[in-house]
Every structure is written in C-alpha cells, then in structure tokens.
C-alpha cells in the first residue's frame, strides 16, 4: 500500500490552500510545525479517528506532509523545507496568524 505523496510542484495552488483552509487540519499543521514527527494518534483534535485519518490524508495528498510507516503506527511530519521553497512566507503567515487567532 503506497502512500500518495505528490511532488509539491504538481499540486495546484488551490489544493494547497484548500488543505490549509480547515480548522482541524490547521490544528494538525500547527502541531507539526511545533515539533518534528508525530504519530497519527497523538493529535488532540476532538474528532473521531476516521475523521482524523481523513484530514491527514488530505494534507498528505496536498503535498503538505510526509508519512513514515513504522509497525502499526504512522509518523507524520511537515514538508516545511519544500513548502518554504515553493511558497515562501505562506506557512509562516498562516501559522503566525493562527496561533494568535484569538486576538481582535
């Protein structure tokens, strides 16, 4: 079972943006940006595991994350370097803003 991890250049901009335009997924991205690698199950998202799996798939297929299989777990990490290279400022802009989202 191959994981679908496209080249970032081949992902339409709109797909990248759409992947980021969701609260749950933004939570995931924020968590990933704060650390290195996380097992899928470690995210506190307030949704079922089916839904979590769905969102991780969306992120992966939008080229935002990579997934490493290890035993029964899967470890996810942000493709930050590639993202920053192809969309300089995007991730920073989104993350800075989202962590400070409770401001007026």
Residues of the shown chain interacting with DNA in the complex, contacts defined by CB under 7 A: 1, 18, 22, 24-25, 39-41, 47-58, 67, 70-74
Q: Compose the 74-103 pattern: x for residues touching a second copy by CB under 8 A, - for all others.
A: ------------xxxxx-xxx--xx--x-x
Phi and psi dihedrals of 7, rounded to 5? -65, 135
**DSSP 3-state assignment of 34?**
helix
26 binds, among DNA, a second copy, none (CB under 5 to 8 A by kind): a second copy
Structure tokens at 28: 């995931």
74 binds, among a second copy, DNA, none (CB under 5 to 8 A by kind): DNA
DSSP assignment of 38-103 equals: EEGGG---SS-HHHHHHHHHHHHHTTSEEEEEETTEEEEEE-HHHHHHHSTTHHHHHHHHHHTTT-
Least distance in angstroms from the C-beta of 65 to a second copy:
17
34 binds, among a second copy, DNA, none (CB under 5 to 8 A by kind): none
Beta partners for 78?
Answer: 65
Residue 22 touches a second copy, criterion: CB under 8 A: yes
């Amino acid at each position: 079972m191959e994981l679908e991890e496209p080249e970032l250049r081949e992902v339409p901009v709109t797909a990248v943006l759409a992947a980021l335009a969701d609260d749950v997924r933004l939570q995931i991205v924020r968590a990933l940006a704060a650390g290195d690698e996380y097992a899928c199950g470690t995210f506190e998202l307030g949704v079922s595991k089916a839904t979590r799996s769905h969102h991780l798939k969306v992120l992966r297929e939008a080229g935002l994350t990579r997934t490493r299989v290890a035993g029964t777990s899967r470890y996810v990490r942000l493709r930050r370097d590639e993202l920053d290279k192809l969309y300089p400022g995007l991730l920073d802009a989104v993350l800075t803003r989202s962590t400070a989202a409770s401001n007026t």
